Structure 1
Amino acid sequence: MSATCCPQYTIRLNVDDFKISKSQKKVLSNFLRYLQTGQKPNRFSNLENVEASQEPNNPINKRVYKVQKEITKKGDNSQKKKQIRKQRKLDKLTNQGINIYEYQQQRIQKEKNREKTFESLLNDILTHTKINENGHNLRMQIVKKNTDEFNQSKEESYKLFESYQRTIHNDKVLDVSGWNNFLVDSPIQHDKIHTNVPSFAEITEYGAYHQQYYLDEKLVAVGVIDILPNLFSAKYFYYDTSHAFLNMGVFSALNEIYTVQKFHKVLPNLKYYYMGYYIYTCPKMRYKEKYAPSELLCDETLKWMHCSEAIPKIEANQGKYTAFYERTEERPHIDLNQLSFNYLSNYHLSSITWEYLPQHPNYYRINSDEFKEALQEFVNLIGEIAYTIKIHLAQLSD
């Protein structure tokens, strides 16, 4: 990590602590309005890419502030008139014998009752049914990879990915086999969930899934996710860019957080939403800190620190690799001979120990001092937990 130009920090959110922001709530309100009426947001801004432009020293923001200051001066008189009208209203209520304090408290309570919560907004979206010709229907489903249900939409999903990569990232598009390797094939085994999860009757196993979003029965977005006993991992997301005005990336993240909250109600250990990596030097990745209060992982100590504390440390270090905590003890040296590994063979996981690796037909792919040194460094970093897990060696897979 210390050698890279763009340090990557694992980022996660405890969904019990999630606090939705006004801008995120607005995305949900706009999405619901679009479903109900077909009305698109008056002004569209992609919240995932706009964060970098919100820095206080941005020259555009300085000009905006100057204009706002001039408008404020012109608006002083109208503000005074508004205060006069407000005072007249209060005087009138007082003359009628109404307790002003109680009246104001009632008004405040009415506003709170009128204001939609994170849960109610998402529930309204997920239970919405089209009632007029201008509205739209949203349908979501979570499908297990490499099943008949998954294969029915496989071609459509790949074409959506292809279009997204070309439009958003200007990437050389992967062929179907590349897409399979990137977002479909997974070493994760599907173990049974021994508790029914309300609203997700189709999810009976932990494992690797695609969450598909359909608008009027057209596939418009796909979230690639892993559902594990202790965490929900959002691996990748791609969408129909003609629906960018709905802030699909923000909506999907909020929906995934809501999904984890539902799982957590019946599965106490599943409370963390993992968002991949946070890269301070990449503006497109910095939006993740907005799902507050997120935490970043310290690679030196494997301890977590809230973004509100960790990011200032990165800033103070000019964006270079930063340890959030000081390591107080030496790393253990892990014995490779005591480790277990796995790999994919005919779409099934097979296990192997270090002792028998030389007998594997694909051993030549890892038979080097460089690989052994990298593996040794990796297991030393994760510590003694390495003895309790199986390490996936993709190089051995068919």
Structure 2
Amino acid sequence: MSVSIVQYFGSQLGKCGYCTGTNCSKSNGMHAYRLDCQDYQDLIDRGWRRCGNYCYKLKNKETCCPCYTIKCDALEFKLTKSNKRILRRMNRFLRDGKRDPVEQAARAGNDDDVTEGANAPASEPQPQMPDKSPAVINVEQAMSLAQAQKSKAKPAGAAQVLLAQSPSLGSNKSATAISNKPRKKAKQMRLERRQAKLGDTKEPPSQKAATQEKSLTDFLSEPGESNKHQLKIVLVASSDTQRTCADAVLALYRKYQVVIHNDNPARLTLASMQRFLIKSALKNEKPDDGPEMGYGSFHQQYWLDDKLIAVGVIDILPGSVSSVYFFYDPDYSFLSLGTYGSLREIDFVQTIAATTPALKYYYMGFYIHSCPKMRYKGKLSASYLLCPETYVWILLTDVIRSKLDANKYQRLNDDAAARDVNEFLVEHLDEVMLLLDAKTCMKYKNYVQITGTDSDRVEIIEYSELVGKVCAHRMLYVNMA
């Protein structure tokens, strides 16, 4: 496991991207120099979210628009009628080039969320960044210091734990085309193997039932090579800047931000896109029990023939695929690309889960009930909201929606006695790891003994409570003057 290194910024106040209010969005923030993928999985399971190297957690009790982390169980996902219409519309367009304008569908009243799915952003707006600049540190040296500190704490004879090296994806390996070929479900494959072993030659139920409801994979497998248009989705590591920062990507990003979000074109530079969507503290990790592409930050590029029409920015983590952002060509809004991209990402999770069962969730960022145009995320079936106090997952139902209608902040967990099992208490403070300078790394208890001061105690406790006991003891807290 690699070492996560973070610098805590404390409370942040800024403009809200949802209600557009000024100085009403309240959060806590930190800069991540490096994040172990499991650490980030644990952080988003406590309400954190990243934007480039900046990580933030909304103060839901105080902020203007409470944000609840939302995830979908991809293996329990069920298509709605609206989802099916969007998938059929895309398949018709690929097959014969026929356009089915969103405006016509909406006027006809036969697509209840097509305009919302097409025009709403797939992820939350870019958060307000703090004025404070992160300290300049040598990341590799800090990692070595942290590992040496951990090794000292081991009893004699204990096996040494080596830092996980982050393999870089070469130009030939960093891009993987996602095939449209039909895939058998893991359950079906197990059934077929069992039948073969027993000498049963009967067709599996999924093939016998001609009237069986089509799955998401069935819809996505329909287009063939003889179609008028070919859609190819290519998976690219964020670190492969030759692809992720290509002219076509920047042009698409600028067009989307100007047309959909009315951004100032002068501010949409390559550097701003890199800071927002390319840079990531997550390093690619390839454990033996992980997915083929490994864990880390990636882009899914949607190529229609030879034209880039959409990009999905995602993090692949030990328990989930987390959607960071999705942008597309507004000229193709008639294809409801926002919703279509979400369906594609759910299918991607289902594919990974077939070989990596622990990775079965699709994280959509934040669900903001107080902002009507952001409620579309809650339309995916088998969606869960994270309780902001106990950090357990609560199924999003009409009962929960009614509670949020009544009061925009809710605990969500009805069990009054339930507590955060990863709660950080003051007695855990001694084991928090600090990076003091380029040559010094130590636990908080040693820091107090050596320096004779605990002036940073309040801030370190606040940080530790927000990230939880596990991450507070595992990550490296930058405490440089």
Calculate the TM-score normalised by the size of structure 2: 0.57
Q: Give the number of aligned pairs.
A: 307
Cα distance in 1, alignment partners of residues 332 and 260 from structure 2: 13
Cα distance in 1, alignment partners of residues 476 and 233 from structure 2: 33
Cα distance in 2, alignment partners of residues 279 and 372 from structure 1: 33
Counterpart residue number, 2:334: 245
Counterpart residue number, 2:204: none
Flag the 1:33–1:314 CA change in 2: closer, same or farther, 3 A.
same
1:30 aligns with 2:129: no
Aligned residues of 1:138 and 1:213 also touching (Cα < 8 A) = yes
What displacement does 1:124 show? 1.8
- 1:136-175 equivalences under 5 Å are 136-147=229-240, 150=243, 154-172=246-264, 173-175=267-269
1:314 is aligned with what amino acid? L
What displacement does 1:119 show? 1.7
2:81 is aligned with what amino acid? K
1:194 aligns with 2:288: yes
Counterpart residue number, 1:123: 221
Could you give the per-residue CA deviations for residues 310-338 of structure 1, whole angstroms, max 9, x where no partner exists?
32221232xx2111123545854254553
1:310 aligns with 2:400: yes
SS at structure 2 position matched to 1:266 = coil
- 1:71-220 equivalences under 5 Å are 112-113=211-212, 116-125=214-223, 128-131=224-227, 135-147=228-240, 150=243, 154-172=246-264, 173-194=267-288, 203-220=292-309
Structure 1, unmatched stretches of 5+, are: 52-108, 198-202, 359-368
What displacement does 1:219 show? 0.6
Same amino acid, percent of matched pairs: 33
1:339 aligns with 2:432: yes
Counterpart residue number, 2:145: none
Counterpart residue number, 2:411: 323
1:258 aligns with 2:347: yes
2:393 is aligned with what amino acid? W
Flag the 1:16–1:351 CA change in 2: closer, same or farther, 3 A.
farther
Cα distance in 2, alignment partners of residues 354 and 248 from structure 1: 49
Counterpart residue number, 2:78: 19
Structure 2, unmatched stretches of 5+, are: 1-59, 118-207, 448-454
Cα distance in 1, alignment partners of residues 419 and 232 from structure 2: 51
**2:380 maps to which of 267, 278, 291:** 291
After superposing on structure 2, the runs of 4+ consecutive aligned residues of structure 1 that deviate more than 6 Å are none
Could you give the per-residue CA deviations for residues 133-157 of structure 1, whole angstroms, max 9, x where no partner exists?
xx21111100001226525x52221
SS at structure 2 position matched to 1:150 = helix
Calculate the TM-score normalised by the size of structure 1: 0.69
Cα distance in 2, alignment partners of residues 143 and 341 from structure 1: 34
Aligned residues of 1:48 and 1:284 also touching (Cα < 8 A) = no
Cα distance in 1, alignment partners of residues 221 and 457 from structure 2: 50
Cα distance in 2, alignment partners of residues 323 and 33 from structure 1: 44
1:385 aligns with 2:470: yes
SS at structure 2 position matched to 1:124 = coil
Flag the 1:48–1:39 CA change in 2: closer, same or farther, 3 A.
closer
RMSD, matched Cα: 3.3
Flag the 1:303–1:129 CA change in 2: closer, same or farther, 3 A.
same
Flag the 1:353–1:160 CA change in 2: closer, same or farther, 3 A.
farther
Aligned residues of 2:350 and 2:360 also touching (Cα < 8 A) = yes
Flag the 1:230–1:22 CA change in 2: closer, same or farther, 3 A.
same
**Higher helix proportion, which one?**
1
Could you give the per-residue CA deviations for residues 116-138 of structure 1, whole angstroms, max 9, x where no partner exists?
3322001224xx3244xxx2111
Flag the 1:179–1:316 CA change in 2: closer, same or farther, 3 A.
same
